[in-house]
A and B are shown apart, each in its own frame.
Chain A
Amino acid sequence: MTMTDKTMDASAPAPRGDTTPGDATQPGTAHPGPAQPAVAQLPMAKALNAGLQQAMRDDPRVLMMGEDIGPLGGVFRVTEHLQREFGPKRVLDTPLAESGIIGTAIGLAMRGYRPVCEIQFDGFIFPGFDQITTQLAKMTNRHEGQVQMPVVIRVPYGGHIGAVEHHQESPEAYFAHTPGLRLVSPSTPNDAYWMIQEAIQSNDPVMFFEPKSRYWHKGEVDMTASAVPLHSSRVVRTGTEVTLVGHGAMVTVLLQAAELAASEGTSVEVIDLRSLSPIDYEPIVRSVQKTGRLVVASEAPGFVSVSSEIAATVTERAFYSLEAPVLRVTGFDAPFPPAKLETVYLPDADRVLDAVDRAMAY
């Protein structure tokens, strides 16, 4: 059943219950849903699904909006079964219009709801770009704090899935450049489970970049552990000679590179950014003070990128610790190529190691 089959009539119960709009401090991380085991091996898509389910159970103001997210469960099945549990008034199959999705989510947020919008693919976010950058990001500022915008925009992004044009891109930098937005990207199922719930609890708009090439990779999800702060970066492998920083699917590549480097006798530390705006620099600066070398990697084109921003800031903050210039390993400054060339376009462990070698040669 879709929303167009059944319009929102007044006879059905209001979804908000006794919740007061504007009270935004609902704890959502305290307990797992009854259907979920406390610790489970889940692929990221299922972990996100469990996180969304938990957020919807915790707060009746949380809504899902997007294309094909109802009976189909989204093209990646991240919202699978949610409409069955929560109904078509809380899981809205929308008309096919990204600006419409974001623009109406803004109105719903004004009303006290906490919409979670799914953009079907990275390259399709741009019809909604105006609403995101000129309206969503500025709405609280324009209202001088009188209105909050707790809207989450989920964006499956990145390459390695062999898809057609517009389906493999990494558009984070466009949004990182926009004041008023927050950007995060999980790299593991456990982070995905917790970070989506924290994003939904944020009173600010959060762009939630999901590394779609990691959707089907399993990892341990601990639904009993309390969440780490949403906007914190994290050391995921310790080392002493070179620091590698990346986010999303790139973290897996960096860990592969670190393993290979270790086999060649180079000790590499790997940091998962997790948050792209704001960036948690403390673990990065601390690491660079130890290693003296930094390589920043991402799938996105490097020009005016998150990687460039990190390079500039770490140079400012840890200049006297640096033994080598900060190096970037990124996608090329060219449109994402046809899929047969994606492995050439996207940084792999070898390209990261090439940068590690260049950093070590200074």
Chain B
Amino acid sequence: MTSRPAAPDDQAGPIGNEKDCEVTVPNPANPAQSAQQAPASEQAPASEQATASKQAQATDHAAGQAQGAADTQAAASTQPGKGTGSFGRAWPAASTGPDENAQPVETIQVLTPEGVLRADDGPSADYLPVIESLGDDLLRRFHRDMVVTRRFDMEAANLQKQGQLGLWVPSVGQEGAQVGSAHATRAQDHVFPAYREHAIAMVRGVDLLGVIGLLRGTTHGGWNPAEVDNFHLYTLVIGSHTLHSTGYAMGIALDGNYATGNPDTDEAVIVYFGDGSTSQGDVSEALVFAASYQTPQVFFLQNNHWAISVPVSTQSRVPLVQRPMGFGIPGIQIDGNDVLASYAVTARALDETRAGRGPRFIEALTYRIGAHTSSDDPTKYRTDAELQSWVAKDPIPRYEKFLRSRGAGDDVFAAIAEEADDFAADIRRRTLELESPSTDKIFDHVYSDPHPVIDAQKLWLAEYEDSLEPEAAPGGDA
């Protein structure tokens, strides 16, 4: 596709409708159950089932409307260069359309979409020895982590549809980039996520119920970074955390806890961010500071090609991997749906930066197969053809082929599928048990030191609630 998507169809329903955005992607844990078959939980109360039913009707309605939008897009895509009056045509056309976002710049790929290790002599060959040194346990662990995260993701999406979460942020499609790079970190490293890094959270030891809590509205945090291998909190203001990660890496440098020559103790930072965030000033400032102070830090860009509805070609007219070079930071582009490339390239970049060779930048080409969030409707801005081209590059099936070629049998995959189902069931059970926090949570930890206004308001609320009839008291589970 070489033209911009058509303008959104005004008839296609309100923003934030409950359109079912997921496409049918293989669920390796249970091929019989697609994302669209969201069973109403037996545990969900009747009122929630009613909500789910209402949403299902809305879904059907929106699906019909969305089909119209998709048809319009299809028509537009057959007329390259002929705009349909969309906003984008008011500006000089970008040299690349959405499909060209992925233009390769020596993309490092170890495992082909067919699941075969590349045998050519290109730059990717450098990384093969890293992969060949890995044992079967770790190689299978990669698969397990991708499958369990996807199963978790689908369960959370279902919980959202059933009214148990206010919102869901799917990571489907990005598991390869995440699991590979996460396993490349060392225990002493610090990881700064954006908010779609569920697989990385799991690899670093976060109880994913913490992520659920964020979206169920029971917490703004969800875990203590110091207790989960330095996996820091999700940050929702796009790109803000890149500066925090750079500041943290400056602290490592000030402490001298890097470049001692011992990779088992030298620390490094890795920060995850997306293609949309590269337009934020904070990301550029983080690159400036990182270059100025030569921080031990890897910038890991997951280019999933869409910043909600805006394609990466609107964020940048050059491949994003070329951005860091202007800041004096080496960049490398990888096939982000190749978990092995993600592992090998990230491991090397982290060890280079922890050795004192300065910051590194990795652009992982991947794709957000699902919606931006459960409130999004990607059928309004991207084509099914584009989506299907990426589904064909799904990181999980290709990796399964690779493992089978190395001798893993049905029993291995059945066991992982069962583990994934158990994981999802456990998340569902504990989600339904998550209770509203105490009203103290409004006031506790606004400040570290005592604060008279907070103390007075906390006391006032307690006395006010005591003064009310019990059944009318706000907060809690009433």
| Complex interface: chain A residues within 8 A of B441 (CB) | 144
Bound state CA distance, A89 and B253, in angstroms? 10
Asked if A104 and B250 sit within 8 Å, CB to CB, the answer is yes
Asked if A107 and B254 sit within 8 Å, CB to CB, the answer is no
Residue A57 at the chain B interface, CB threshold 8 Å: no
Asked if A13 and B240 sit within 8 Å, CB to CB, the answer is no
Most buried by A among B248, B288, B448: B448
Residue B449 at the chain A interface, CB threshold 8 Å: yes
A4 in contact with B243 given A97-B285, A99-B281 (CB within 8 Å): no
A179 in contact with B285 given A7-B293, A146-B224 (CB within 8 Å): no
Bound state CA distance, A45 and B260, in angstroms? 41
A140 in contact with B237 given A7-B293, A95-B289 (CB within 8 Å): no
Residue A346 at the chain B interface, CB threshold 8 Å: no
Count of A residues near B, CB < 8 Å?
55
Asked if B254 and A148 sit within 8 Å, CB to CB, the answer is no
Asked if A135 and B244 sit within 8 Å, CB to CB, the answer is yes
A204 in contact with B448 given A8-B254, A9-B259, A97-B285 (CB within 8 Å): yes
A10 in contact with B444 given A99-B285, A134-B240, A203-B449 (CB within 8 Å): no
Asked if B452 and A278 sit within 8 Å, CB to CB, the answer is yes
| Complex interface: chain A residues within 8 A of B233 (CB) | 142-143
Asked if A7 and B294 sit within 8 Å, CB to CB, the answer is yes
Residue B447 at the chain A interface, CB threshold 8 Å: yes
Count of B residues near A, CB < 8 Å?
50
Residue B446 at the chain A interface, CB threshold 8 Å: yes
Asked if B240 and A10 sit within 8 Å, CB to CB, the answer is no
Contact of B247 among A103, A141, A180, A231 (CB under 8 A): A103
Asked if B244 and A106 sit within 8 Å, CB to CB, the answer is yes
| Complex interface: chain A residues within 8 A of B281 (CB) | 99, 127
Residue B406 at the chain A interface, CB threshold 8 Å: no
A103 in contact with B246 given A140-B448, A203-B448 (CB within 8 Å): yes
| Complex interface: chain A residues within 8 A of B288 (CB) | 95, 97, 100
Residue A113 at the chain B interface, CB threshold 8 Å: yes
**Which residues of B in the span 230-256 have a Cβ within 8 Å of any Cβ on A?**
232-233, 235, 237, 240, 242-256
What's the nearest-Cβ distance from chain B to residue A317, in Å? 12
Asked if B243 and A144 sit within 8 Å, CB to CB, the answer is no
What's the nearest-Cβ distance from chain B to residue A56, in Å? 14
| Complex interface: chain B residues within 8 A of A8 (CB) | 250, 253-254, 293-294
Asked if A135 and B445 sit within 8 Å, CB to CB, the answer is no
| Complex interface: chain B residues within 8 A of A4 (CB) | 292
Residue B219 at the chain A interface, CB threshold 8 Å: yes
Bound state CA distance, A288 and B260, in angstroms? 63
A111 in contact with B255 given A95-B289, A203-B449, A278-B452 (CB within 8 Å): yes
| Complex interface: chain B residues within 8 A of A106 (CB) | 243-244, 247
| Complex interface: chain B residues within 8 A of A112 (CB) | 251
| Complex interface: chain B residues within 8 A of A15 (CB) | 254-255
Grouping DSSP codes into helix (H, G, I), strand (E, B) and loop, the B interface class, with mixed when no group exceeds half, is helix
A108 in contact with B250 given A94-B289, A100-B285, A142-B221 (CB within 8 Å): yes
Bound state CA distance, A341 and B441, in angstroms? 48
A145 in contact with B448 given A103-B247, A103-B285, A130-B237 (CB within 8 Å): yes
Asked if B255 and A14 sit within 8 Å, CB to CB, the answer is yes
Most buried by A among B248, B441, B445, B453: B445
Residue A318 at the chain B interface, CB threshold 8 Å: no
**Inter-chain CB contacts under 8 Å: number:** 161
Contact of B286 among A7, A10, A100, A105 (CB under 8 A): A100
| Complex interface: chain B residues within 8 A of A203 (CB) | 448-449
What's the nearest-Cβ distance from chain B to residue A125, in Å? 15
Contact of B449 among A14, A144, A202 (CB under 8 A): A202
Asked if A12 and B256 sit within 8 Å, CB to CB, the answer is yes
Bound state CA distance, A9 and B358, in angstroms? 11
Bound state CA distance, A240 and B281, in angstroms? 54
Asked if A113 and B293 sit within 8 Å, CB to CB, the answer is no
Most buried by A among B246, B249, B253: B253
| Complex interface: chain B residues within 8 A of A113 (CB) | 251, 254
Bound state CA distance, A113 and B247, in angstroms? 10
What's the nearest-Cβ distance from chain A to residue B451, in Å? 6
Bound state CA distance, A166 and B1, in angstroms? 48
Residue A3 at the chain B interface, CB threshold 8 Å: yes
Residue B356 at the chain A interface, CB threshold 8 Å: yes
Binary contact track A1-31/B, C-beta < 8 Å → 1, others 0: 0011001111011111000000010000000
Bound state CA distance, A3 and B288, in angstroms? 13
User: CB-nearest residue of chain B relative to A205?
Assistant: B447
Residue A324 at the chain B interface, CB threshold 8 Å: no
| Complex interface: chain B residues within 8 A of A9 (CB) | 259, 356
User: CB-nearest residue of chain A relative to B248?
Assistant: A107
| Complex interface: chain A residues within 8 A of B224 (CB) | 143-144, 146
| Complex interface: chain B residues within 8 A of A145 (CB) | 444-445, 448
| Complex interface: chain B residues within 8 A of A142 (CB) | 220-221, 233
What's the nearest-Cβ distance from chain B to residue A62, in Å? 12
Asked if B243 and A131 sit within 8 Å, CB to CB, the answer is yes
Bound state CA distance, A134 and B241, in angstroms? 11
- Further pairs besides A7-B293, A95-B289, A110-B244: 19, Cβ < 8 Å: A8-B250, A9-B259, A10-B256, A99-B282, A100-B288, A103-B246, A104-B244, A105-B247, A106-B247, A107-B246, A107-B250, A110-B248, A111-B250, A131-B240, A134-B240, A135-B240, A148-B448, A180-B447, A182-B447
Mind listing 6 A-B residue pairs with CB under 8 Å?
A: A14-B256, A97-B289, A138-B220, A140-B445, A143-B233, A144-B441
Residues of A within 8 A of B (CB): 3-4, 7-10, 12-16, 24, 63, 89, 94-95, 97, 99-100, 102-113, 127, 130-131, 134-135, 138, 140-149, 179-180, 182, 202-204, 231, 278
Residues of B within 8 A of A (CB): 219-221, 224-226, 232-233, 235, 237, 240, 242-260, 281-282, 285-286, 288-289, 292-294, 356, 441, 444-449, 451-453
Please list the 6 inter-chain residue pairs (A to B) with the smallest Cβ-Cβ separation, ordered nearest first.
A107-B247, A103-B243, A111-B251, A104-B247, A100-B285, A107-B248
